[in-house]
Structure 1
């Protein structure tokens, strides 16, 4: 049995709606498996920023440190610049807690219409491993000559041997459990310092594992993920490249609304954070039509991380079952259900399966 403390941050927009869905499912599921989660609900959001000047309190990271995991809905809202919401909450959490792995499973699920031809979509099941703590998303840089004709902006990428080695090791370990193939995204033909360094360290590191490692330039890889997605097993990318490829791959699978993600500290020293990819979607917030699958699948990843394997398996089976039927899918993936109906269907499936 697993007993864990989880900080719940619903955030903004549909984040609150999909958080309610996840908590409702777990309230029914966990008693059936003997697992337990003690929730700490936190109102950290853009709404808080607009009223109090910060997305989270000064002692926020210390509070999160007391938990085993963080479950996040979505952050972002009109009137608050994206860089404010990102650097005011997500990035401090990822970096303070050494969540250097961003993990995004990608599968074409039965029943979910893909924009690709059926023969191209068949068998797509890959894992994107994104370096989550350095690379192109550094804080080093600034502006020069603001307000003048020579105004300039500078942004410095940072790739460390430690950072590249540890993400390459993680990707190799996951590939060994799957089909043993890694493709690493690069752009070493145009970015002459960081990308050749990335290629060298990835190759050196993965050579110690029973995996096949190849390299693809990011532009060509983006095209091939659309043309031949079933060829790929584990895709390894830097912070920027992994970010772009994971959203592209979610589109291949039919909707970003079903895409999950995990921000992981593999050492277990700090809490890891789990969140759907879809964002706060202000255009549909409050209408009760948000797709909860991205959050529910992220919850599966959280349960796996916490050691609640049976609960994770039951929930993943229920997600797959509801996706097969248009009556229990939301409109963004060709269904007729609203958020509440999907949630109820998932609860019904896990209840029957656990019994």
Structure 2
């Protein structure tokens, strides 16, 4: 007998909820998107036309009566942790978009609440399933790079006119450190392990921005790898997305994982099937061994479509969650250290 789908809800139907989460939720086998939490009449109308199988409600408190098991929280950044606490108090499981919380202490408190409540709390670190990231992981597993010593990861965007969101202060959840930093730090830690020291530079480049819009972090991992992570919103000329070097070979890839563009174009895992997350050859990275121009490496298929089915399996108790909640606490610790480092002009140690 086929198990009934896990009944799920989405809190927030702005760009994050509408463009990124809803299509993945609707495409996920074993999960049924039944409700959207939004108080905006405009958003409610969009849900009605775009998700005819879902109802709209004005608060999380209305979800248990609908038989909802869990909720994805993709609302303004400063509301993530408070809404996650509310969801847990209602007996719901929760997926929390980045930033998981605004600081280390808030992240740790949220994880402790989930443990007391006996509910799943899953950070939405979807970029663990980026095509280029998975390709690097494969090269590391094969030993193709040898002993890695340096890693660089950057997300460059060009938005010279700030949006209203980027006028928010850091205390309101604004700024690139909390927007893109969680992805960069999580990926580096997943590849190379825990961080023992952080040095960071945070800048505000665009006039009127309420928080930093250009960041660079230098991490030392416990195993000795040095990571340089950068992100900004004023980079008209982007650098390589990833550059990793070892004592046997190096790998570089430009551009950006294509799953974001697929979703923005209205395509979904359900509509594309086996073509979802597949990178064209023109987007493949290159492997260099010091003897020539390098050879192209076929990119692994991007797999954002595996996240929500994994959440459904975790809710049923047949598999661990796709991302551990404690991973978000570790990331928040690094981001807090980065802010301290930038403010004090020091290297911040994370031992102990």
- Superposed pair shares fold, TM > 0.5: no
* Higher relative contact order, structure no. (Cα contacts within 8 Å, ≥ 6 residues apart): 1
TM-score by length of 1: 0.35
